[in-house]
Chain A
Amino acid sequence: MELGLDVDDSRPPYTVLAVKGEVDVYTAPRLREKLVELVSQGKHQIVVDLEGVDFLDSTGLGVLVGGLKRLRSHDGELSLVCTHQRVMKVFEITGLTKVFSIYGSVDDAVAG
């Protein structure tokens, strides 16, 4: 099972990380490594695009919370793009919709 992780730097100061596939305990470490790598490159405004994600579990949520925490300690921000109900539901029932800024499109996310 491959996790797609595409980085798009064409909209500074934002870095868009498009995730594709299923995020679970097997694939989440790759997402974590990618976020850590981006932060260490000085990219502190990260938009994680979850539109290509068809499954996300609590391990994936944990990685995103970890990324947000890391970015906030650099005065940065991690926002999300998500419209799929099955993925949104995981944020809703855990209350994490109040922790993350969640947008309907990458355009909206980079417009803040």
Chain B
Amino acid sequence: MPERRVAVDRELVLQLDVPSRPEFIAVVRLVVASLASDRRALADERIDDLKLAVSEACTNAIEANRSANPAAPVHVEVWEAPDRMEVTVKDNGPGFDPARLEHPPAVTDPQRLQFERGLGIPLIRMLVDSAEFSGTDQGTVVRMTLFGGPANGDDTGTIYMDASKVQGARPLD
């Protein structure tokens, strides 16, 4: 009898340090999106969501580093587990308290037009399945999680669709 695999911990699949400069965000977006699209069973729309969330997190990280430590890189990690993919974006800024974020006024409020910034974090929260912000005086870590199995379904314990086993399914012509 094959040894039963214990709950698989998450595994680090990508580490990336990029300079805290705006021109590098496109690179991070591209790398994380192609990794997600290659390795995870995620719809294109979810990949777009992740791309935007990662971009927002990097934009904030660059801004945080620029105010405190412009030479510090933005540190990006991608972790995989059977049921999810996590992307963390870390800066070396002064840290922030997510609870103290200003909320933009309702869109029907004329004051809404005064808010040209501050949309990044609400966007991240809406785009990914789970978003955690942890701020210390060493910097801020944003952890964004998308649930969904691996693209190839090889991992034990992962539930994935096998068309041949679905009742009534037939191969595409």
Residues of A within 8 A of B (CB): 1, 22, 24-26, 55, 57-59, 61-63, 65-66, 68-69, 72, 85-86, 89-90, 93-96, 98-99
From A58, A94, A99, name the one whose CB has the most chain B CB atoms within 10 angstroms: A58
CA distance A62 to B62 in the complex (A): 17
Interface residue count on the B side (C-beta < 8 Å): 28
B interface secondary structure, majority: helix
- Whether B123 pairs with A25 at a CB distance below 8 angstroms is no
Contact of B123 among A22, A86, A94 (CB under 8 A): A94
Q: Tell me whether A25 and B22 are in contact (CB under 8 A).
A: yes
Q: Which chain B residues have a beta carbon within 8 Å of chain A's beta carbons? A: 22-23, 25-26, 29, 45, 48, 51-52, 55-56, 59, 62, 106-108, 112-117, 119-120, 122-123, 126-127
Number of A-B contacts (CB under 8 A): 69
Cα–Cα distance between A93 and B29 once the two chains are bound (Å): 20
Are B107 and A96 within 8 A (Cβ)? yes
Chain B min CB distance to A90 (Å): 7
Residue with the greatest number of chain B CB neighbours at <10 A, chosen from A24, A95, A98: A24
B25: which of A25, A58, A62, A66 is its contact (CB, 8 Å)? A25
**18 other contacts beyond A25-B25, A68-B113, A69-B113, with CB at 8 A cut-off?**
A1-B26, A24-B25, A26-B22, A26-B26, A55-B29, A57-B52, A57-B56, A57-B120, A57-B123, A58-B56, A58-B59, A59-B59, A62-B117, A65-B115, A69-B116, A93-B126, A98-B107, A98-B108
